[in-house]
Amino acid sequence: MCKFLNQYGPLLGRVLLSVIFIIAGFHKITGFEETAGYMASKGLPMVNVLLVLTIIIELGGGLMILIGWQARWAATAIFLFLIPVTLAFHPFWSFEGQEMTQNFQSFFKNLAIMGGMAYIMSFGPGQLSLGGDRCPEKTA
């Protein structure tokens, strides 16, 4: 059982973590103007530039994690990206009722995803990956 989990667990984890970003990035491309308008409504500057960067991080980083190529770097980029995104788009403390509940759930969902990214940053993409991002061993 452990051998099976060691071999296939990281792949399953990468698939489950990456799919939300791949889908979100694709939807931002197909709904570019709508997404830019939503970002502008939050008071963000240079929304077109930020939106292109968001697409690169979500779609590009999601695909990199999915295939396991430079997954540590992609996980780091997504982890750092989620900090301002979570604070700007899910400030649950600013709402009441149902809006507070929805933002609370999204805020802590993002924290959980950040935990998954921290795991990839720490342990890499696993055996079934394109690899190329192993941490070098420290020498005395």
pLDDT, tens only, 87-130: 999 999 999 999 999 999 999 999 999 999 999 999 999 888 98
Q: What is the tally of helices (H) and strands (E) in the chain? A: 6, 0
Q: Quick one: tokens of 18?
A: 């990456």
> Cα angle vertex 12, ends 122, 35, to 5°?
85
Task: Give the whole-angstrom CA distance, residue 72 versus residue 51.
Answer: 23
What pLDDT is recorded for position 127? Answer: 86
First to last CA, the chain: 35
CA atoms within 13 A on the CB side of 19: 5
pLDDT surpassing 80 at residue 34: yes
pLDDT band at 137 (very low <50, low <70, confident <90, very high): low
Mean of pLDDT values over 75-91:
97
State whether residue 131 is helix, strand or coil.
strand
Q: Quick one: tokens of 22?
A: 């791949």
What pLDDT is recorded for position 92? Answer: 96
What pLDDT is recorded for position 7? Answer: 87
Task: Give the whole-angstrom CA distance, residue 96 versus residue 75.
Answer: 33
Tell the residue number behind the tokens 């990839």, with chain if given.
120
pTM recorded for the entire structure: 0.90
Please report, as a single letter, which amino acid is at residue 100.
Answer: M
pLDDT tens-digit readout, 43-77: 999 999 999 999 999 999 999 999 999 999 999 99
pLDDT tens-digit readout, 6-26: 889 999 999 999 999 999 999
What pLDDT is recorded for position 132? Answer: 58
Please report, as a single letter, which amino acid is at residue 74.
Answer: A
What pLDDT is recorded for position 135? Answer: 67
